[in-house]
Structure 1
Amino acid sequence: MAPVIRPRRLRSTAAVRRLVAETRLAPSELVLPMFVADGLDEPREISSMPGVVQHTEDSLRRAAAAAVEAGVGGLMLFGVPSPDAKDATGSQADAADGVLNRALSLLRNDLGERTVLMADTCLDEFTDHGHCGVLDARGRVDNDATLDRYVAMSLAQARAGAHMLGPSGMMDGQVGVIRAALDAEGFTDTAILAYTAKYASAFYGPFREAVGSSLQGDRRTYQQDSANRTEALRELSLDLAEGADIVMVKPAMSYLDIVRDVAEIADVPVAAYQISGEYSMITAAAERGWIDRDAAILESLTSIRRAGASIILTYWATEVAGWLSSPAAG
Structure 2
Amino acid sequence: MSFPIVRNRRLRGSNALRSLVRETNITVNDLIYPIFVTHGTNIKEEIPSMPGVYHWSMDRLDEEIHEVVALGIQAVLLFGVPERKDAHGSSAYDPNGIVQQATRRVKELYPDLLVIADTCLCQFTDHGHCGVVHLDEKTQRAEVINDASLELLVQTAVSQAEAGADIIAPSNMMDGFVDAIRHGLDEAGFEQVPIMSYSVKYASAYYGPFRDAAHSAPQYGDRKTYQMDPANAREALREAESDVAEGADFLMVKPALAYMDMIRTLRDQFDLPLVAYNVSAEYSMVKAAAMKGWIDERAIVMETMIGFKRAGADLIITYFAKDVAAWLREER
**TM-score, scaled relative to structure 2:** 0.95
Q: Partner residue of 1:239?
A: 243
Structure 2 counterparts to residues 233-272 of structure 1, below 5 A: 233-272=237-276
For the 8 Å contact 1:32–1:314, the answer to whether it is kept is yes
Deviation at 1:324, TM superposition (A): 1.5
Please, which moves more after superposition, 264-273 or 135-144? 135-144
What does the per-residue CA deviation read over 1:143-177, in whole Å, with 9 as the maximum and x for residues that have no partner?
00100000110110000100001100000000001
Structure 2 counterparts to residues 125-144 of structure 1, below 5 A: 125-138=123-136, 139-144=142-147
Task: Report the secondary structure of 2:106's partner residue.
Answer: helix
Structure 2 counterparts to residues 1-330 of structure 1, below 5 A: 3-82=4-83, 85-112=84-111, 114-138=112-136, 139-216=142-219, 217-326=221-330, 329-330=331-332
Aligned-partner Cα distance in 1 for 2:144–2:205: 20
Aligned-partner Cα distance in 2 for 1:53–1:179: 32
Deviation at 1:306, TM superposition (A): 0.5
Aligned-partner Cα distance in 1 for 2:122–2:207: 13
Please, which moves more after superposition, 1-10 or 189-198? 1-10
Deviation at 1:137, TM superposition (A): 4.3
- Structure 1 pair 172/295, CA: closer, same or farther in 2 (3 Å)? same
Deviation at 1:15, TM superposition (A): 1.5
For the 8 Å contact 1:251–1:272, the answer to whether it is kept is yes
Deviation at 1:65, TM superposition (A): 2.5
For the 8 Å contact 1:74–1:117, the answer to whether it is kept is yes
- Return structure 1 stretches of 4+ with deviation > 3 angstroms: none
Aligned-partner Cα distance in 1 for 2:213–2:118: 14
Letter in 2 for 1:111: Y
Q: Percent identity?
A: 47
Letter in 1 for 2:247: G
Letter in 2 for 1:261: T
Task: Report the secondary structure of 1:232's partner residue.
Answer: helix
Computed over aligned residues only, the root mean square deviation of the Cα atoms, in angstroms, reads 1.3
Aligned-partner Cα distance in 1 for 2:293–2:184: 51
Unaligned ranges ≥5, structure 1: none
Unaligned ranges ≥5, structure 2: 137-141
Letter in 2 for 1:307: A
Task: Report the secondary structure of 2:275's partner residue.
Answer: strand
For the 8 Å contact 1:127–1:214, the answer to whether it is kept is no
Deviation at 1:119, TM superposition (A): 0.4
Letter in 2 for 1:320: V
**TM-score, scaled relative to structure 1:** 0.96
Task: Report the secondary structure of 1:191's partner residue.
Answer: coil
What does the per-residue CA deviation read over 1:42-61, in whole Å, with 9 as the maximum and x for residues that have no partner?
21110100000011113322
Task: Report the secondary structure of 2:195's partner residue.
Answer: strand
Aligned-partner Cα distance in 1 for 2:74–2:238: 29
Aligned-partner Cα distance in 2 for 1:165–1:309: 19
Task: Report the secondary structure of 2:29's partner residue.
Answer: helix
Letter in 2 for 1:324: L
Task: Report the secondary structure of 2:34's partner residue.
Answer: strand
Number of aligned residues: 325
Please, which moves more after superposition, 311-320 or 117-126? 311-320
What does the per-residue CA deviation read over 1:240-284, in whole Å, with 9 as the maximum and x for residues that have no partner?
000000010000000000000001111210001000000001111
Deviation at 1:40, TM superposition (A): 4.3
Letter in 2 for 1:245: D
For the 8 Å contact 2:32–2:77, the answer to whether it is kept is yes
Aligned-partner Cα distance in 1 for 2:316–2:28: 10
Aligned-partner Cα distance in 2 for 1:256–1:40: 40
Aligned-partner Cα distance in 2 for 1:250–1:86: 26
